């Protein structure tokens, strides 16, 4: 599976810097396009990145501050923060009624929402090369309907994508989702999709080796005094990449 270079950098551990207080904030593509994370939740998360204090290791805005920045009510912010914590994008601590501290989770390769979302985007990109032209965007809309179920159906037997999220753990590989999507499209439109997913992931790996992204080259040229991932972090990354079909 194509694991883009920005995600490689984030997976390496502690080097994701949201560049707080510089007038802008990094918005990783894997989060920006993440499925099952609402636009409001993403905006709140990006504000936390923006307000993150690297020395202290957390952000400490009030909910009213976040409400003013995002342009929604404090109650909406409260709900978004709760959902972000449930989805393991942040951790918070602090006594009730007092100012809370918010710690972003930078171990993005462990987050089921991101791993499955990136898998989904990879699968749809490959299927698009095999799907009959007459189907156009119909099959994509069908898949999105499978992902974006009504709130009352979330994580029930009617929510297949949600069940993949719920059953995900560190030992899970996205291959089951690849197979499920392929079969779902095949059965829905009565077409045969003969896709060798192992070969597709291998081809993507080879393409990245030949044409690396410029910012990953810059990442490899980081200053020598910057923190590098330790051996344990590197080994964890290698294992996960093999599970994703990126490394042999």
Q: What is the pLDDT of residues 152-176, one digit of tens each?
A: 999 999 999 999 999 987 667 788 9
* Between 72 and 202, the higher pLDDT residue: 72
What span, in angstroms and rounded, lies between the C-alpha atoms of 232 and 63?
Answer: 37
Which helix (H) or strand (E) is 7 found in, with range? helix 5-11
What is this structure's pTM? Answer: 0.75
May I ask the CATH class of domain 15-107?
Answer: mainly alpha
What span, in angstroms and rounded, lies between the C-alpha atoms of 43 and 25?
Answer: 11
Q: What is the pLDDT of residues 112-153, one digit of tens each?
A: 999 999 999 999 999 999 998 888 788 999 999 999 999 999
Q: What is the pLDDT of residues 217-242, one digit of tens each?
A: 343 344 334 444 556 656 665 665 55
Per-domain residue ranges of the chain: 15-107, 111-237
What pLDDT does residue 153 have?
A: 95
Residue with tokens 């790996």: 205
Q: What is the pLDDT of residues 40-52, one digit of tens each?
A: 999 999 999 999 9
């Amino acid at each position: 599976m194509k694991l883009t270079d920005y995600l490689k950098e984030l997976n390496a551990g502690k080097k994701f810097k949201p560049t707080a207080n510089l007038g802008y904030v990094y918005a990783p593509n894997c989060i920006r396009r993440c499925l099952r994370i609402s636009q409001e939740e993403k905006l709140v998360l990006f504000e936390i990145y923006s307000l993150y204090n690297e020395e202290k290791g957390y952000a400490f805005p009030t909910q009213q501050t976040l409400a003013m920045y995002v342009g929604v009510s404090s109650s909406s912010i409260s709900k978004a923060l709760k959902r972000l914590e449930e989805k393991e994008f942040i951790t918070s601590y602090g006594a009730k009624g007092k100012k809370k501290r918010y710690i972003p989770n930078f171990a993005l390769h462990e987050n089921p929402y991101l791993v499955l979302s990136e898998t989904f985007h990879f699968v749809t990109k490959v299927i698009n090369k095999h799907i009959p032209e007459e189907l156009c965007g119909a099959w994509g809309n069908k898949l999105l309907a499978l992902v974006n179920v009504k709130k009352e159906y979330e994580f029930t037997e009617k929510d297949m994508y949600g069940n993949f999220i719920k059953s995900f753990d560190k030992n899970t590989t996205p291959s089951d989702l690849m197979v499920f999507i392929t079969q779902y499209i095949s059965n829905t439109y009565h077409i045969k999709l003969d896709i060798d997913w192992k070969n597709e992931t291998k081809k993507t790996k080879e393409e990245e080796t030949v044409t690396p992204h410029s910012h990953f080259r810059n990442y490899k040229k980081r200053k020598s005094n910057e923190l590098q991932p330790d051996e344990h972090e590197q080994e964890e990354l290698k294992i996960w990449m093999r599970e994703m079909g990126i490394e042999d």
